[in-house]
Amino acid sequence: MNLTLSVGPLVSLIAGVLILIVPRLLNYIVAIYLIIIGLLGLFGAGNFHLR
């Protein structure tokens, strides 16, 4: 059985939950999210494959 885990949606889910819990962190969470997605896009590490 192969399980494909995509990092983008996982980071989005975690960021969304954190924003709901602590709305004051919105600016930091958005900035960190954009940096992570940008780095993953540059280095092509968007998908991890787990077996």
pLDDT for 48 equals: 54
Whether 15 contacts 35, CB under 8 Å: no
Domain extents for the chain? 3-50
Residue 42's pLDDT is what? Answer: 84
In this structure, the chain runs to a length of: 51
What angle, 0 to 180 degrees and rounded to 10, lies between the N-to-C axes of helices 7-21 and 26-43?
170
Instruction: Please give the structure tokens belonging to residue 1.
Output: 């059985």
Q: What per-residue confidence (pLDDT) applies to 32?
A: 85
**pLDDT score recorded for residue 23:** 84
Q: Count the helices and strands in the chain (H runs, E runs).
A: 2, 2
One digit per residue, the tens of pLDDT, for the chain of length 51 reads 565 667 778 878 888 888 888 888 888 888 888 888 888 788 876 555 555
Provide the H-helix boundaries in the chain: 7-21, 26-43
Whole-structure pTM over 0.75, yes or no? no
